[in-house]
Amino acid sequence: MSARIESRSTAVAVDGEIVAPKTSSRASRDRNWRLKVSIGQVVAILAILAIWQGISGAVIPAYLISSPISVISDTITLLQTHTMWTDIWVTAQELILGYAIGVVFGILVGILMGSVKFLSGVFEPIIAGINGIPKIALAPLFLLWFGLGIWSKVAQASMIVFFVMYYNVYMGMLSISPMLVKLFQVMGAKRGYVARKVVLPSLSIPIFAGLKACVPFAMIGVIVGEFIAADKGVGYFVLQATQQFDSAGLFSGIIIMVAMVLVGMRIVTFCQNRVLFWQKQDHGR
Amino acid sequence: MLEFRNVTKRFETPGGQEVNVLQDVSFTVDDDEFCVVVGPSGCGKSTLLNLALGLVPVSEGQIIHNGKVVESIVSSDVGYITQDANLLPWSTVLDNIMSPLEIRGVPKAERRAQAMEWAEAVGLGKFVDFYPGQLSGGMQKRCSIARTMAYDPAMIYMDEPFGPLDAITRTVLQETLLNLWQTRRKTILFITHDLVEAIALGDTVIVINGQPGSVKARIPIPLSRPREIRHLAADTEFVELHTKIWSYLEPGVESIA
């Protein structure tokens, strides 16, 4: 009896009937739980900010760690200036271009290496070797090749993004069910059909895993590039603030970077929910 | 018609040695015959199907499918139902059933109608908009049967299709399969390790045993159709057949278990 009640609490279709969805008491328990967690999060963040505010000046000199109040007021002031928005726009361009180029090449090379055994045999060790380079060490080289403008930062970001994306897609190719592919071949499917209907959808999970992981990586590439040499960008702004012992400005710059990464992640999540809708339906088999 | 002529299959072990999996296998499956191959695990019966479908090449001998020697993947007018349902998880039940029709270029409205019809026939009429992840194992299997029946291949290969299911679901699906087959005759080559299933479904049972596996017997099943699978165990003819087939399986079975 109790087993039957339990099986009725999730919306699963069993031979012949659609079992009733969650009961309302469970839904309200879920709501209460989420509310508790949200309150806990707010309290934790306020506590951290209060401690920061408390030790600033009193324990650690304000010019080293600034304080939440000055960081917030500084951020608000900065966002009203034209130069800050120019910096944000430059960094955004570098971020988007570097991300896009790295992602596209990562996916293409991953699919190619996953489908042509000879190519992966030849190039896998070479790619692994290049990936062994600490990519930040290449920043001066990119500066030399692509100049002071945005393209040296784009190159730096795409270099990092490429490898993350490539490995995700390549491993995704190797994990496609050979049985599913054979079954479709027996059904009469040509290569193009198998590629569109079996291979690409199978890759959607590793691709989205890569897309999510790559947003902060792209930001690292861009900021490193701006640290090396730049005259615009959020990274350049942070470097300037540091050199002027403007710790409030420095923290403001970091907050802006985090906000940009979070916006990027939101966009990826939005796309993911539209593409991987079928995966959400998956309640226990 | 499908014909195995002295087929031998060798595999190379990782250590570089050659191992015979199937030895000198010969038998024929006539048009519209329900032929079941039964044997213990490890006797090479799944390999038999892979050979017949051209998924792996034979080492010696020949397989002839509708007058043609099988040399590459057979993809004309054959169906393949595997142990796992192997549905596309990102497609609904209806889209899954429609996919072979889409491959064949059937116009959209028509393939929809046909797929709906088959979904109804296997009892999935209410679930056409569900994704495979929302279905039970038995329903997924129904969907894969509907997908194969929908494009109406003359011959269907089935590799232990009901193996992973519980006994009740298995019996119900066996009856569904027999009903479908009786209304729309096809040549079926069905692989199983389940003796009861073999006798219940087949016109002919081919017993494969040994390592390497070879044909030990070809036993016609004279049980009248339609058969009521759930009541077969009480049938004296069934019990006799069961005892007889067991006698061919016995040698060597202990060494496997």
Using alpha carbons only, give the angle A81, A85, A90 rounded to the nearest 5 degrees: 150
Residue pointed to by tokens 């895993």: A209
CA distance A17 to chain B (A): 9
Nearest Cα residue in chain A from B135: A13
Chain A residue whose CA is closest to B74:
A186
Residue B256's pLDDT band, with cuts at 50, 70 and 90, is: low
Report the residue of chain A nearest B75, measured CA to CA: A186
- The dihedral formed by the CA atoms of A20, A23, A27 and A28, expressed in degrees to the nearest 10: 170
Structure-token pair, residue A157: 């970001």
**Is B53 in contact with A179 (Cβ distance < 8 A)?**
no
Neighbours of A81 (CB within 10 A): 10
Q: What is the mean pLDDT of each run of 10 residues along chain A (285 residues)?
A: 41 51 73 93 95 91 90 92 94 96 96 93 94 92 93 96 96 92 92 92 93 95 93 93 91 94 94 81 45
- For chain A, what are the domain ranges? 2-55, 71-280
On whether both B12 and B100 belong to a single domain, the answer is no
Tens of pLDDT along B160-213?
998 878 888 889 889 989 988 988 889 999 999 999 999 999 999 999 988 888
| CATH of residue B71 | 3.40.50.300
One domain for residues B143 and B165: no
- Distance (Å, rounded) from C-alpha B87 to C-alpha B98? 12
Same domain, B70 and B169: yes
Whether residue B82 lies inside any domain: the answer is no
In this prediction, residue A1 carries a pLDDT of 39
What per-residue confidence (pLDDT) applies to A15?
Answer: 52
Cβ–Cβ gap A187/B169 under 8 Å: no
∠ CA A207-A210-A212, nearest 5°, is 110
Number of domains in chain B: 2
pLDDT in tens, B105-153: 999 999 999 999 999 988 899 999 999 999 998 899 999 999 999 998 9
Q: Are residues B64 and B185 part of one domain?
A: yes
Task: Collect all residues of chain A within an 8 Å Cβ-Cβ radius of residue B84.
Answer: 179
Domain A71-280: give its CATH superfamily: MetI-like (1.10.3720.10)
Determine the distance in angstroms separating the CA of A125 from the nearest CA of chain B, rounded to an integer. Answer: 24
- Residues B70-97 have pLDDT tens digits of 988 888 789 999 989 999 999 999 999 9
pLDDT at A11: 46
Q: Is A187 on the interface with B (CB under 8 A)?
A: yes
From A200, which residue of chain B is nearest by alpha-carbon distance? B90
Residue A279 to residue B78, Cβ atoms within 8 A:
no
- Determine the Cα–Cα distance for residues A284 and B132; give it in Å rounded to an integer: 11
Query: Domain check: are B73 and B124 in the same one?
Result: no
Closest-CA distance of chain B to residue A282, Å? 5
For residues A17 and B126, give the distance between their C-alpha atoms in angstroms, rounded to a whole number.
9
Give the structural domain span for B17.
Answer: 2-77+159-256
Predicted TM-score (pTM) of the model is 0.79
Percent of chain B with pLDDT over 70: 98
